[in-house]
Amino acid sequence: MPVVNIINIKKQFQDQEVIKGMDFQLSERKCIALLGANGAGKTTTLKMLAGLVKPDSGSIVFEGAEKADFRRLIGYLPQFPVFYEWMTGNEFLEYAGQLAGLPKSEAKDRAKELLELTGIAEAKNRRIGKYSGGMKQRLGIAQAIIHRPKLVMLDEPVSALDPFGRREVLELMDKLKKESAILFSTHILNDAEEICDEILFLHNGELVESGTLTGLRTKHQQAKIDLAFKENTLQYAEELSLLQPVSSMKLDGEYASFFVEDIEYARELFLTEIMQRNLPLVKFEISRTRLEDVFMKVVQK
Amino acid sequence: MNQWMTLFKKEMLEMSRNFKWIWVPLTFIMIAVKEPLTLYYMPQIIDSLGGLPEGAVIELPVPSAGEALAASLSQFNTFGVLIIVLITMGTIAGERKSGVAGLILVKPVSYAWFVTAKWASSMILIWISYFLSYFLSWYYVGVLFEFISFMDFLQSFFVNGIWLTLIVTVVILFNTFMKSPGAVGFISIGIIVILSILSSSLPHLLEWSPALLSAYANAFIMGSNLPDELLPSIIVSVIMITLSLLASIAIFKRRELA
Ligand SMILES: Nc1ncnc2c1ncn2[C@@H]1O[C@H](COP(=O)(O)OP(=O)(O)OP(=O)(O)O)[C@@H](O)[C@H]1O
Ligand SMILES: [Mg+2]
């Protein structure tokens, strides 16, 4: 069941078209990554979904928002969260929980639970003004999920974190996936690859590609074979590239990379040729398309 | 209403954490009480500053109790207004500028509650500071000059307080459509100054102007006749306060927060 339906939203700042018509759907208990380079429009998209920026046209329809305020259904972590510096972490969470509609006692319990879960329990009675960047990020995540929203939107939740923090937050998101839909933006492809079901590629304000991780891999699969010879790599590579299935070849310093259509067939063909001619092979490696390659490919279109 | 209390309590807590509950009443008391004291001790002050040249005789008219208290009242309309604008100009604009409003208002927070909780907490701080300082001033005038009837004091207190309330409300209104506290302060002061100058230079045209309330408040303590325009100008003020508050809420709802 979709949690939210986004239909052809557009946004312009001054005369710059930042979002150029975007459609997508978010479903329950799915984790979706919004991928894109700096300035692609990730933050603007999330702000529109959170109601902080109004789209110029198009619509954003939350399931169940006809009856109640849609803000009950969402939790949002801005890219650079700012808090009331004079509050303690615990006070802020209780405040956020109560504003989100939790009764006071429940807000207290949830605050306690989330302080533990996000690993800032020991700083809970310190003023937020004295928190480090990573601690604020964790507090930001905690306030976003305190009311158990159906859709959690996180704008670069792990960019400000150290490797341990990153690990912890990714694990937290993995758990969160069981109760809520998650939409998070990142430009770190590894993070998306690790916990996401679906991926939206944003480029210059347009969705250039989207789909499930496996779907995208299959679609953009472009098997690559790296080859190196003891000597004359260039000459041999050029001879090999004359063989039929090679779609392109790239010489990269010591070795040559072949992009081929059918990896099994190409392997067979190359190896036979190399054996027959007894070429001085030193490296033969088959590598599969990673998300990064898909990203590069769709962005260059 | 639950949510309103949550928002209101946060404002009250904030005002005590940043010591507004201490320095605002103290500043108000200083600017108000200073007037009767300096008026009373003026001869001694002049003496201690070297006195008057030999033979010079200056008759310092002894001010009446009403004049001394009126001097306090006029302080509220200069320094007092300045302080009020200073402490309220960032109440919403500041939160939007820093970005914390973006975090709070994606929660299902009622915009009306948000604005009115801010308004109510500012009102409480200002009315309490104003009462304490004006009351002390009234007391000192009583001790040093003579006591003015408490009823007259109270009436002037409330009439002038309506003008101060309108100022708070107008500053909140500008808060809802400007993001920079500095700009809010600047425009609010500008409007107040223009309104006051217009009202006092064209009193026959703008006799219902709220800016004249402070002049009308004077009438109570000076024992002069109450002007007929007092009631209309109170009514106009209350209407303006209500409309400004409603407009604040309506504008705030429509604003983009980020
Ligand atoms: N308030 C604004 N006024 C004018 N232009 C803006 C505003 N907000 C964003 N933009 C522009 O919109 C474009 C997209 O910005 P956005 O913040 O959405 O990018 P992003 O994908 O989040 O980038 P990053 O990875 O750097 O966070 C940028 O070119 C930016 O300059
Ligand atoms: Mg961004």
Average pLDDT, chain B: 90
Output the six-digit token pair for B169: 């409300």
- pLDDT at residue A195, rounded to an integer: 87
Asked if residue A164 has pLDDT above 80, the reply is: yes
- pLDDT at residue B51, rounded to an integer: 67
Of the candidates A231, A292, A222, the residue with the CA atom closest to the CA atom of residue A257: A222
Q: Are B114 and B252 in contact (CB under 8 A)?
A: yes
Sign of CA dihedral A180, A183, A186, A191: positive
**What stretch of H or E contains A171?**
helix A163-176
Single pTM value for the model? 0.86
Taking each helix axis from N to C terminus, what angle separates B111-144 and B81-88, rounded to the nearest 10 degrees? 150
- Which range in A115-124, A166-175, A285-294 is most confidently predicted, on average pLDDT? A115-124
- Tell me the CA distances in angstroms from B107 to A80, A144, A236, one per residue in order: 17, 9, 64
Percent of chain A at pLDDT > 90 equals: 47
Alpha-carbon distance of B138 to B132, in angstroms, equals 10
The three-class DSSP label of residue B9 is helix
- pLDDT at residue A215, rounded to an integer: 83
Cβ of B61: how many Cβ atoms within 10 Å? Answer: 6
Asked if residue A288 has pLDDT above 80, the reply is: no
- Tell me the CA distances in angstroms from B215 to B82, B111, B141, B211, one per residue in order: 18, 36, 19, 8
Average pLDDT, chain A: 88
Identify any residues that bridge with A251 across adjacent strands, giving them in sequence order.
A256
Asked if residue A246 has pLDDT above 70, the reply is: no
Contact state of A78 with B102 under an 8 Å Cβ cutoff: yes
CATH number of A220-300: 3.30.70.980
Asked if residue B258 has pLDDT above 60, the reply is: no
Asked if residue B164 has pLDDT above 60, the reply is: yes
Minimum mean pLDDT range among A110-119, A194-203, B87-96 = A194-203
- pLDDT at residue A283, rounded to an integer: 85
Which chain A residue is nearest to residue B19, measuring alpha carbons? A86
Q: Which ligand is nearest to the CA of A19?
A: 1
Q: What's the CATH architecture for A2-63+150-217?
A: 3-Layer(aba) Sandwich (3.40)
Q: What angle do CA B244, B245, B251 make, to 5 degrees?
A: 85
Alpha-carbon distance of B168 to B145, in angstroms, equals 33
- pLDDT at residue A27, rounded to an integer: 87
- Tell me the CA distances in angstroms from B48 to A218, B44, B152, one per residue in order: 94, 6, 35
pLDDT digits 0-9 by tens, B187-197 = 999 999 998 88
Minimum mean pLDDT range among A89-98, B35-44, B98-107 = B35-44
pLDDT digits 0-9 by tens, B222-249 = 877 778 888 999 999 999 999 999 999 9
pLDDT digits 0-9 by tens, B51-83 = 666 666 666 677 888 889 999 999 999 999 999
Q: Are B229 and B208 in contact (CB under 8 A)?
A: yes
More confident residue, A240 or A117: A117
- pLDDT at residue B57, rounded to an integer: 66
**What stretch of H or E contains B126?**
helix B111-144
Indicate the residue of A83, A86, A147 with minimum beta-carbon distance to B17: A86
> What are the start and end residues of each CATH 3.40.50.300 domain in chain A?
2-63+150-217
- pLDDT at residue B257, rounded to an integer: 66
Touching B: A residues 262-301, CB under 8 Å: none
Q: For atom 18 of ligand 1, which residue has the closest CA?
A: A41
Q: Are A176 and A152 in contact (CB under 8 A)?
A: yes
Alpha-carbon distance of B59 to B222, in angstroms, equals 22
- pLDDT at residue A234, rounded to an integer: 80
Q: Is the CB of A42 inside a 6 Å radius of any atom of ligand 1? A: yes
Q: For atom 4 of ligand 1, which residue has the closest CA?
A: A13
> What are the start and end residues of each CATH 3.30.70.980 domain in chain A?
220-300
Minimum mean pLDDT range among A188-197, B8-17, B138-147, B188-197 = A188-197
Q: Is A281 exposed, middle or buried (0-12, 13-18, 19+ CB in 10 A)?
A: middle
Asked if residue B134 has pLDDT above 70, the reply is: yes
pLDDT digits 0-9 by tens, A35-64 = 988 999 999 999 999 999 999 999 999 988
Q: Is the CB of A18 inside a 6 Å radius of any atom of ligand 1? A: yes
Asked if residue A65 has pLDDT above 80, the reply is: no
What is the interface pTM, i.e. ipTM, of the complex?
A: 0.90
B217: left (phi over 0), alpha (psi -120 to 50) or beta: alpha
Q: Which ligand is nearest to the CA of A77?
A: 2
Of the candidates B93, B230, B71, the residue with the CA atom closest to the CA atom of residue B155: B230
Q: Are A200 and A49 in contact (CB under 8 A)?
A: no
